[in-house]
């Protein structure tokens, strides 16, 4: 029996050969090269535009048959010489690079930063001094604790890292959506991460801090408790990447042409406004769509609703720093915006999704050490540790000191040096000289830039070498109190609920008590309410190194107080059935479109519904796949007959009962009553329900949506809500 050939020199299919090869066995596949090309229209480094889209090996060798291994006979053994098979399997075996120890689950996008207010008086960095300059950026958002396969809506800090491809080199502003951190010194970072990750003997819980190890650690670390207030707040369950603030966390220096230094803290303010979800909502979103944040960012950019953030800076000098009631080098502290107002200097717009997630989002390498002339470091000990750690991490993850050769990490300005060789070196310097200084003149390669190059600010440094924490870092509770008391009452309630939930997951009662002892120092009433929620007595206050101060309230710390001015960029879910009112549906969707928001139809069948005027409307979601947690507000517009049918369906009842429990605005038509009754909504509907029994009511409903939530409802539907009505304390 003749051996089946994988390709023919005469171009004929097997079975058409003059040699009359036997027919292919039943089920055998034809070589893909004889089919119409099915490429995605993109290009790779092996393929130029306009060339035939023939699949190749990693070495660029065209492949005739990508369906069958080379074997001896139709049923014989695979041959060792099959380099096409080995090339394909070799790459598959090594597809995964080690995921990040922290910030493993991330999502990125490209964009541009435009400077609108020059900082030339305080820095020589061109990206911050030349008004109108547009600088390409790549942004990666992420959770911290979970693995790459974890869910988006974990209660967690979010990474907010921006790579600026400046004309003076890459600048990485590697921040979070929270302006402070758990620890003051980088030597504690491995302990923090080990404590918050899944417990090593059982490998759970995944992407959660609600377990004994984490709370044991932080209950022994008073410096962590300002960050704990942020972590237990709604800041760690954001509605979207688009509705998060970003912070550089640390104090940096800006250095001007005269060599003068000014301290700076960086802030990103979302033009979309701040917004978060409820915890119960987050849990259900993770079940309905674990990729909720990813999908939201992708959809926004692909639809042309480009997310934007304004870059603000807090500028202050040594004298002002000395007058603060805390040490600005302490990463567990922030400078309230009311003390040092933000100076808004530019806008970042994300306008392009990635072409390939792995090549860009997964392989992007951020390093806090990546700064450009005109920007320098402060003496923050946590920042110094990060400068060491990030570079070391990239070598482990990407396998080579040449990770800057990857396109996503490559600077977009001239790169000239004498570094050479190493694993995965894609570009090496040309010429004879590979050292400096050399005497080869013009062909001898690059030279030092003198005043045009980077120069560290000559900050004075002296003293004995000691392992010691500065006394100026010792106030651990004053800003924690300020943060808690600056929240709106409903936000304070959410924060307390989160503390009760997390500590209830601790098996050891002594850990719970130790944690609550820190709360006593922050706010005695909060501590009492949390202790009550845990069914325990309030323990004595933890020993405080410094007295807790009553600092002025900071309204900038509240999410609700800094929400969006409209419903723009948000999403309305519209529940329809056959026979729904066409006039109201058309008026509502037109108003939502005019608002710059998104609407999606939820229906009993994915094929859609027929309205009362005979119009066919396609559905985006089948009711059991389109839970109300996926939307910012809902409109319930079934016909009376449709509502009767939906009232027997558990997902339909959940749609309205969850929207009610999550304090969402609910527009409803005349026919919705049967469904509301089946979902056991109150007979007397609150002001968060808006009748839509006439198309003239649509405008008022859309106007109310800018509030995002009807928070007054939570006080009536939650067992722990009554205490949230008490007024805030503070100056």
155 has pLDDT over 60: yes
32 has pLDDT over 80: no
3-state SS record for 63-121: CCCCCCCCECCCCCCECCCCHHHHHHHHHHHCCCCCCCCCCCCEEEEEEEEEECCCCCC
726 has pLDDT over 60: no
3-state SS record for 433-485: CCCCCCCCHHHHCCCCCHHHCCCCCCCCCCCCCCCCCCHHHCCCCHHHHHHHH
- Tell me whether residue 176 is one of the annotated catalytic residues: yes
Of 725 and 143, more confident:
143
| Percent of the chain residues past pLDDT 90, beyond the cut | 76
505 has pLDDT over 80: yes
35 has pLDDT over 60: no
Q: Of these residues, 68, 110, 170, 176, which one is catalytic?
A: 176
352 has pLDDT over 50: yes
Q: How confident is the model at residue 722 (pLDDT cuts 50, 70, 90)?
A: low
Q: How confident is the model at residue 20 (pLDDT cuts 50, 70, 90)?
A: very low
Mean pLDDT of the chain: 90
Residue 1's pLDDT is 36
Residue 52's pLDDT is 60
Q: How confident is the model at residue 533 (pLDDT cuts 50, 70, 90)?
A: very high
Q: Which residues touch 45 (CB under 8 Å, ≥6 apart)?
A: none
Q: What is the pLDDT of residues 517-528, one digit of tens each?
A: 999 999 999 999
| Helix (DSSP H) and strand (DSSP E) numbers for the chain | 19, 18
**H helix runs in 574-639, sequence order:** 582-595
Instruction: Report the predicted TM-score, pTM, of the whole model to 2 decimal places.
Output: 0.89
Residue 41's pLDDT is 34
49 has pLDDT over 60: no
- Tell me whether residue 521 is one of the annotated catalytic residues: no
CA dihedral 635, 638, 643, 645 (to 10 degrees): -120
> Tokens at residue 683, please?
């007979």
Contacts for 499-504 with beta carbons within 8 Å, 24 or more apart?
A: 499/232, 499/530, 499/533, 500/530, 500/533, 500/534, 500/720, 501/210, 501/279, 502/209, 502/210, 502/215, 502/232, 503/215, 503/530, 503/534, 504/533, 504/534
Q: For residue 6, how far is the Cα from the chain centroid?
A: 47
Nearest-5° angle of CA 224, CA 330, CA 174?
Answer: 90
Sign of CA dihedral 322, 326, 332, 338: negative
Q: What is the pLDDT of residues 304-323, one digit of tens each?
A: 999 999 999 999 999 999 99
Q: What is the pLDDT of residues 627-673, one digit of tens each?
A: 999 999 999 999 999 999 999 999 999 999 999 999 999 999 999 99
How far apart are alpha carbons 267 and 487 in whole angstroms? 20
How far apart are alpha carbons 165 and 172 in whole angstroms? 9
How far apart are alpha carbons 702 and 697 in whole angstroms? 9
Q: Exposed, middle or buried: residue 731 (CB in 10 Å: 0-12, 13-18, 19+)?
A: exposed
**365 in Cβ contact with 424 (< 8 Å):** no
Residue 10's pLDDT is 38
C-alpha to C-alpha distances, 171 to 371, 414, 593, nearest whole angstrom: 5, 15, 38
Residue 86's pLDDT is 84
HSE-CB of 522 using CA atoms within 13 angstroms: 32
**DSSP β-bridge partners for residue 162:** 139, 173
Q: Which of 161, 552, 115, 170 is nearest to 312 (CA)?
A: 115
How many CB atoms are closer than 10 A to CB 572?
A: 25
CA dihedral 399, 402, 408, 414 (to 10 degrees): 170
How far apart are alpha carbons 518 and 219 in whole angstroms? 7
Of 206-210, 272-276, 387-391, the range with the lowest mean pLDDT is 387-391
Of 228 and 24, more confident:
228
**DSSP β-bridge partners for residue 375:** 254
Residue 242's pLDDT is 98
Q: What is the pLDDT of residues 69-120, one digit of tens each?
A: 888 988 888 888 888 888 888 777 888 889 999 999 999 999 999 999 999 9
HSE-CB of 194 using CA atoms within 13 angstroms: 9
Q: How confident is the model at residue 490 (pLDDT cuts 50, 70, 90)?
A: very high
Q: Which of 334, 314, 341 is nearest to 119 (CA)?
A: 314
Q: Of these residues, 103, 211, 226, 476, which one is catalytic?
A: 103
Of 4-13, 421-430, 553-562, the range with the lowest mean pLDDT is 4-13
């Amino acid at each position: 029996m003749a051996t089946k050939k994988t390709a023919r020199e005469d171009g004929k299919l097997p079975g058409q050969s003059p040699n009359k090869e036997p027919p292919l066995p039943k089920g055998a596949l034809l070589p893909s090269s004889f089919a119409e090309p099915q490429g995605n229209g993109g290009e790779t480094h092996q393929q130029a535009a306009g060339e035939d889209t023939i699949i190749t090996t990693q070495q660029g060798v065209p492949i005739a048959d990508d369906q069958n291994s080379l074997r001896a006979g139709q049923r014989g053994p695979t041959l060792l010489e099959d380099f096409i098979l080995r090339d394909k399997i070799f790459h598959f075996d090594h597809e995964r690079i080690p995921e990040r120890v922290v910030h493993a689950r991330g999502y990125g996008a490209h964009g541009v930063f435009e400077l609108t207010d020059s900082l030339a008086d305080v820095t020589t960095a061109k990206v911050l001094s030349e008004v109108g300059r547009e600088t390409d950026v790549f942004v990666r958002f992420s959770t911290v604790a979970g693995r790459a396969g974890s869910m988006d809506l974990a209660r967690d800090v979010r990474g907010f890292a921006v790579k600026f491809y400046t004309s003076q080199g890459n600048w990485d502003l590697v921040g979070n959506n929270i302006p402070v951190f758990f620890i003051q010194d980088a030597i504690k970072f491995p302990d923090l991460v080990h404590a918050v990750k899944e417990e090593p003997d059982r490998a759970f819980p995944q992407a959660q801090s609600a377990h004994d190890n984490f709370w044991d650690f932080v209950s022994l670390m008073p410096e962590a408790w300002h960050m704990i207030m942020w972590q237990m707040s709604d800041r760690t369950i954001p509605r979207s990447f688009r509705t998060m603030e970003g912070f550089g966390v640390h104090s940096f220096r800006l250095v001007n042409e005269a060599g003068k230094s000014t301290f700076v803290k960086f802030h990103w303010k979302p033009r979309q406004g701040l917004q978060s979800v409820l915890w119960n909502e987050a849990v259900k979103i993770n079940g309905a769509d674990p990729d909720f944040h990813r999908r939201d960012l992708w959809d926004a950019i692909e639809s042309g609703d480009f997310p934007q953030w304004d870059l603000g800076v807090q500028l202050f000098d040594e004298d002002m720093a000395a007058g603060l009631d805390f040490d600005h080098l302490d990463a567990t502290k922030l400078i309230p915006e009311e003390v040092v107002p933000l100076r808004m200097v530019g806008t970042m717009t994300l306008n392009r999704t990635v072409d390939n997630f792995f090549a860009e989002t997964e392989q992007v390498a951020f390093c806090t050490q990546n700064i450009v002339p005109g920007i320098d470091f402060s003496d923050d000990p946590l920042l110094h540790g990060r400068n060491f750690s990030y570079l070391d991490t990239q070598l482990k993850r990407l396998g080579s000191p040449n990770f800057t050769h990857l396109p996503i990490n490559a600077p977009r300005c001239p790169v000239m040096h004498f570094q050479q060789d190493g694993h995965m070196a894609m570009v090496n310097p040309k010429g004879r000289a590979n050292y400096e200084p050399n005497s080869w003149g013009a062909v001898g390669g690059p030279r030092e830039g003198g005043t045009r190059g980077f120069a560290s600010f000559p900050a004075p440094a002296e003293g004995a070498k000691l392992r010691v924490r500065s006394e100026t870092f010792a106030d651990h509770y004053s800003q924690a109190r300020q943060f808690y008391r600056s929240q709106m009452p409903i936000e304070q309630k959410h924060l307390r609920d989160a503390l009760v939930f997390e500590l209830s997951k601790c098996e050891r009662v002594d850990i719970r008590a130790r944690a609550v002892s820190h709360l006593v120092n922050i706010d005695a009433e909060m501590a009492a309410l949390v202790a009550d929620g845990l069914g325990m007595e309030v323990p004595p206050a933890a020993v405080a190194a410094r007295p807790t101060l009553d600092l002025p309230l900071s309204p900038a710390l509240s999410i609700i107080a800094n929400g969006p001015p409209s419903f723009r960029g948000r999403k309305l879910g519209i529940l329809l059935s056959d026979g729904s009112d066409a006039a109201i549906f058309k008026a509502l969707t037109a108003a939502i479109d005019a608002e710059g928001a998104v609407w999606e139809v939820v229906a009993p069948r994915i094929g859609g519904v027929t309205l009362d005027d005979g119009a066919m409307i396609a559905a985006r979601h089948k009711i059991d796949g389109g839970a109300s947690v996926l939307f910012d507000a809902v409109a319930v517009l079934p016909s009376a007959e449709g509502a009767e049918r939906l009232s027997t369906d558990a997902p339909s009842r959940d749609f309205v009962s969850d929207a009610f429990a999550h304090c969402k605005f609910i527009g409803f038509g005349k026919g919705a009553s049967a469904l509301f009754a089946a979902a056991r909504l109150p007979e007397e509907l609150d002001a968060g329900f808006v009748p839509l029994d006439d198309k003239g009511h649509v405008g008022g409903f859309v106007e109310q949506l800018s509030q995002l939530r009807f928070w007054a409802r939570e006080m009536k539907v939650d067992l722990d809500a009554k205490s949230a009505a008490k007024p805030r304390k503070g100056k």
